[in-house]
Amino acid sequence: MPRAKQRTPELRDHVLNVAVATLAHDGITGFTTRRVAQQAQTSTPAVYELFGDKAGLVREIFFEGFRLLRRHLDQLRESSDRRADLTGVFEVFRRFARENPVLAELMFSRPFADFDPGPAERMAGDAVREFIVARVGRCTAAGVLRGADTDIAHVLVALAQGLAAQEGAGWLGTSPESRDRRWALAIQAVLDGLT
């Protein structure tokens, strides 16, 4: 009788979930394949067999981050206020970055020297990008904003990434009110400039 397969899709999903949690708990500097294997109660060779190497594991966490962000965005509903709907995208982005700071750093800052995102990794963000471009497109179609949808989306995402990094580093203010005010000021100022 053949031995039961031990490297199952279920084990892969479990290790990936543990890896995301380990990254969040231990940070970039404390993240090792051995630590993930210990936390997942499996062996380091099993992790390597499932993901190839540490860079392969980091790559899957990167993909998972964009899938998670898209799931959050998919919870947004459309209303008749297109500008408010677009602003809501960046509220979700901010909340995601605050709840998952190390994951957001991995997705947007490339902190691992042995992980260099290529075309497949850049495509991981396509679902998020397409969602944001569509929300911008609703605004340009209605005359709420003026400009090329993709250009506007890139500017807004870059702004949100910068604000999230500043907030995460403690540079955006010392009180929740001041941080909220500065996020709102930045987003509204850019949107006002595009009307």
Asked whether 33 and 15 are in contact (CB, 8 A), the reply is no
pTM of the model: 0.85
Average confidence (pLDDT) per 10 residues, the chain, 195 residues: 59 93 90 94 93 90 91 96 97 96 85 71 82 97 97 95 93 96 97 95
Residue 122: the pLDDT is 72
Residue 4: the pLDDT is 36
Q: How far apart are alpha carbons 145 and 138 in whole angstroms? A: 9
Do domains 1-52 and 65-193 share one topology? The answer is no
Nearest by Cα to 147 from 182, 192, 183, 187 = 192
Give the 3-state secondary structure of 62-111: HHHHHHHHHHHHHCCCCCCCHHHHHHHHHHHHHHHHHHCHHHHHHHHHCC
Residue 14: the pLDDT is 94
Going from N- to C-terminal start, the domains of the chain cover 1-52, 65-193
Nearest by Cα to 48 from 17, 20, 10, 7 = 7
Asked whether 64 and 107 are in contact (CB, 8 A), the reply is no
Residue 28: the pLDDT is 86
Q: Which CATH number fits domain 1-52: 1.10.150, 1.10.10, 3.30.300, 3.30.1300?
A: 1.10.10
What's the fold here for domain 65-193? Answer: Tetracycline Repressor; domain 2 (1.10.357)
